[in-house]
Amino acid sequence: MKDRVLNTSIMTGLTAVVVVVIGMLASVPKSSAIPAFSRKYQTSCTTCHSNYPELNDFGEAFKKNGFKFPKDDESFVKEPPVMLGAKAQKEAFPTAVYPGEIPGTVPIAFRYEGNFNVNRRQPAGFIQQNGFAPRTDLFAPNTLTIIAAGSFGQNLSFWIDDDISVGGANADGGLGDGYLKYNDLGHAIGLPKNALNVRFGQFELDLPFTQARSIYLSPFDIYEQASAAGSLGTTKNPTIFGEPQRGVEFGGTPNNGNFAWSVAVVNGSNADAALRSSKDVYVRVSQKFNLERDSESRNAIQAAGPTGPRDHTSLRAGFFYYYGKNQQNQDGALFPGLATIQEPFYRVGGDLRFKYRKLELYGLGMYGHDDNHVVTEGDPPTIAGAPAVTFSGGFAGANYWFYPWLIGTFHYDAVNSHADFINGNPLSQYQTRNRFSPGFQVLVRANIKVVGEYQYTFGQPYVDPITGNALFFRPNAFQAGIDYVF
Amino acid sequence: MSLSGIAARAVVAAGIALTVVGAVRANEIKGKVSVQGIKSAANIAVYVDAIPDKKFEAPKEHIVVDQRKMSFIPHVVAVQQGTTVDFLNSDSVGHNVYWPSISGNKSLKHNLGTWPQGDKKPFQFNDLGVASLLCNVHPEMSGYVVIVPTPYFTVTDKDGNFEIKNVPAGKYTLKTWSEDGKPTTQGVDVSAASTTVELTVKK
């Protein structure tokens, strides 16, 4: 019966989405209105995106090249930049300011995202213990993001994105990424193009699969995992792997972008101010194996398909490692009488991504380890080592382009956390919290999307108020969203 | 032969010569296309429609349509039926050329694929109509090949002016095709060396 009610709700939601999509498709497409780069180059989103914000091979090359076309960039620019000094001023340096440029028009774009949520009907006992969630919620979250990006001449590029309405009416949002990047730093010492770049500011780490610019409505759960020992000890690590960090990153994409490396030194407190003097280090390397048979296609930015350029058939394999040393009780307030508690931690993992024509398969596995302690009260209190707080998990998924405008999506997420399970945060039936998320995405225009995702999630325990039996409830949900950029 | 006989023969010969010259004289049709409800009178194809009982050999000369700075150049090209068009890629980015139909006939759709910078790909247009040139990765790119039945055609300049040369004397049907306007049809009598025509294309 519950399933039937749920199915009816889902069908109602799906019908509404289909009606909206058909209505939007029925009007005649005229143009693709898009953000800053589209205006600069007078080109459609699809030049760089296979399903925005996911980049195609050309978009990846554009990004790696400092937001410039990989070849002959100047010939494609339709909005000339404003020169901040003649090019010949380079010869006058250091007696003159080194010449630069800024975009010809303010390179600002906007993105709006709003979701329609249908939640599974909650049993009475579950509501009593976990609080009430309405069956439906219209356009939540309701997010407007400002994006500014571009280049300041040959080697400098920048990116700033800020969610300005995420917490309700007139609430403040937060800065996502805000960085300045210098490309091709190694040119002067004869390194291959873009083999050595550096960026400064606040940025998402060089993650194997971006969280900030994900196409999905639900996050990659393993990226969001926080290590907290709770009743098991002192570990309380604020670092969230998938959130932006403040720092400096060196990296490069030599060998035609097939090899990629990066080393970042970051605060470890995400977008917040530093909480400790030591810095964290993140390292990532990956190698793309280009599986195109035709050598000309293999070396081109995109492969030459029988019906047009397409992404290379390829396999990218990568490895990442994050190390930090969390500190607590620096001022003695948390554990009076004890010194600063040092708790080194690391995250390590590997990833794979395979692309073949209209199909994309990917997966990531990750393990987290935090040193842990127990404090024994007394006079004076004592501190001793305790079993480490660990977690493991990852995600795997697939995307398939039925048409260039209709994409089927799926991802499976799993997080295995003994500490979370013991502490009941978040509540789960087993130590592994998992979620299946099939969905669809419809590009109504190159800059307008309708997105749907069903989230079949792990069981959460509750007690039946009548029988007193321990039961489990899966708070599954369906989300449909609109998403447009301009 | 008497003087009068010579004069008579000369008159007859002159008459025959004038008749022959008149029949093959290369005239021109020129004029201007005005537009109503359309942004520009540029890039409108003007051509002489099929002439009954008259067939023309396909030209051997190829026409080039370039892909440069992510645009089809020229934006509109008119070609005689049977002409081979060479599609050149002058850009350093990958392009694709396809047309989803010729004048709505989807069985005539064609996809030429992708080729590197500097290379050309030929295609012979044997079917009358209009092929809308598209690129599947740069959907803003747009071009048109207008395939016409006679060798008497042109495309208007930015002001809507046109000139069709080497048209034999006769009565014809003049037609237009434009990207945003409706086709127009107008009779034209090409008897003088230069015939001026005013055409109006409406949205």
Asked if B138's CB is within 8 angstroms of A43's CB, the reply is: yes
Q: Measured between CB atoms, which of B114, B136, B139 is closest to A304?
A: B114
Asked if A75's CB is within 8 angstroms of B93's CB, the reply is: no
pLDDT band at B21 (very low <50, low <70, confident <90, very high): very low
Instruction: Judge contact between B127 and B85, C-beta under 8 A.
Output: no
pLDDT score of A141: 76
Residues in chain A closer than 8 A to B94 (CB atoms): 58, 300-302, 304, 308-309
Residues in chain A closer than 8 A to B118 (CB atoms): none
Token representation of residue B33: 């296309």
Give yes or no for A90 touching B (CB within 8 A): no
Which candidate in B68, B70, B89 is best for mutational testing of the A interface (most A CBs within 10 A)?
B70
Which residues, numbered 388 to 427 in chain A, qualify as contacts with chain B under a Cβ-Cβ cut-off of 8 Å? 404
Q: Classify the complex by whether its ipTM is higher than 0.95, answering yes or no.
A: no
pLDDT score of B24: 52
Which candidate in B111, B138, B179, B180 is best for mutational testing of the A interface (most A CBs within 10 A)?
B138
| Residue A470 Cα, gap to closest chain B Cα (Å) | 56
Give yes or no for B13 touching A (CB within 8 A): no
Instruction: Judge contact between A282 and A263, C-beta under 8 A.
Output: yes
pLDDT score of B145: 98
| Section B97-114 average pLDDT | 95
Query: How many CA within 13 A on the CB side of residue B185?
Result: 4
pLDDT score of B25: 62
From edge to edge, which strands make up the β-sheet containing B194-202?
Answer: B161-167, B27-36, B194-202
Closest CA to A27 of A363, A379, A320, A448: A448
Residues in chain A closer than 8 A to B140 (CB atoms): 31-32, 42-44
Which candidate in B71, B114, B132 is best for mutational testing of the A interface (most A CBs within 10 A)?
B114
Inter-chain Cβ pairs, chain A and chain B, closer than 8 A: 71
pLDDT score of B22: 44
Asked if A75's CB is within 8 angstroms of B70's CB, the reply is: no
Which of the following CATH numbers is that of domain A2-71+107-485: 2.40.160.10, 2.60.40.2470, 3.40.50.720, 1.10.490.10? 2.40.160.10
DSSP structure class, residue A73 = H
* Averaged pLDDT in 10-residue chunks for chain A of 486 residues: 42 40 35 67 92 94 92 89 87 89 91 93 92 90 88 92 70 81 92 94 96 94 95 94 96 92 95 91 97 87 85 97 95 90 97 97 98 90 94 98 96 96 84 96 95 96 90 95 94
Instruction: Judge contact between B67 and B88, C-beta under 8 A.
Output: yes
Architecture (CATH level 2) of domain B57-148 = Sandwich (2.60)
Question: Mind listing the pLDDT tens digit for each residue in A406-425?
Answer: 999 999 999 999 999 999 87
The shares of helix, strand and coil residues in chain B, as percent rounded to the nearest 5, are 10, 45, 40
Asked if B93's CB is within 8 angstroms of A304's CB, the reply is: no
pLDDT band at B30 (very low <50, low <70, confident <90, very high): very high
A142 Cβ contact partners less than 8 Å away, ≥ 6 residues apart: A113, A114, A165, A166
Give yes or no for B53 touching A (CB within 8 A): no
Question: Mind listing the pLDDT tens digit for each residue in A13-24?
Answer: 434 433 333 333
- Contacts of range A465-468, beta carbons closer than 8 Å, 24 or more positions apart: A465/A124, A465/A125, A465/A128
pLDDT score of A85: 87
| Residue A311 Cα, gap to closest chain B Cα (Å) | 11
Give yes or no for B136 touching A (CB within 8 A): yes
Domain ranges of chain B: 57-148
Give yes or no for A142 touching B (CB within 8 A): no
Which residues, numbered 75 to 104 in chain B, qualify as contacts with chain A under a Cβ-Cβ cut-off of 8 Å? 91-96, 98
pLDDT score of A170: 52
Asked if B138's CB is within 8 angstroms of A300's CB, the reply is: no
Give yes or no for B52 touching A (CB within 8 A): no
| Section B95-118 average pLDDT | 93
Residue indicated by tokens 């994050």: A322
Confidence (pTM) = 0.85
| Residue A47 Cα, gap to closest chain B Cα (Å) | 6
Which candidate in A42, A73, A294 is best for mutational testing of the B interface (most B CBs within 10 A)?
A42
Token representation of residue B4: 């009068």
